[in-house]
Amino acid sequence: EPEVTQTPSHQVTQMGQEVILRCVPISNHLYFYWYRQILGQKVEFLVSFYNNEISEKSEIFDDQFSVERPDGSNFTLKIRSTKLEDSAMYFCASRTAISGNTIYFGEGSWLTVV
Residues at the site binding other proteins, with contacts judged by CB under 8 A: 4, 6, 31, 33, 35, 41-45, 48, 50, 55-56, 58, 91, 100-108
> What's the rounded Cα separation, in Å, for the pair 72 and 64?
24
C-beta of 33: minimal distance to other proteins in Å? Answer: 7
> What's the rounded Cα separation, in Å, for the pair 45 and 73?
22
Q: Which is nearer to other proteins, 14 or 102 (CB)?
A: 102
Q: Which is nearer to other proteins, 27 or 101 (CB)?
A: 101
Report the 10 Å Cβ neighbour count for 42: 7
Is 79 in contact with 67 (CB distance < 8 Å)? no
C-beta of 16: minimal distance to other proteins in Å? Answer: 28
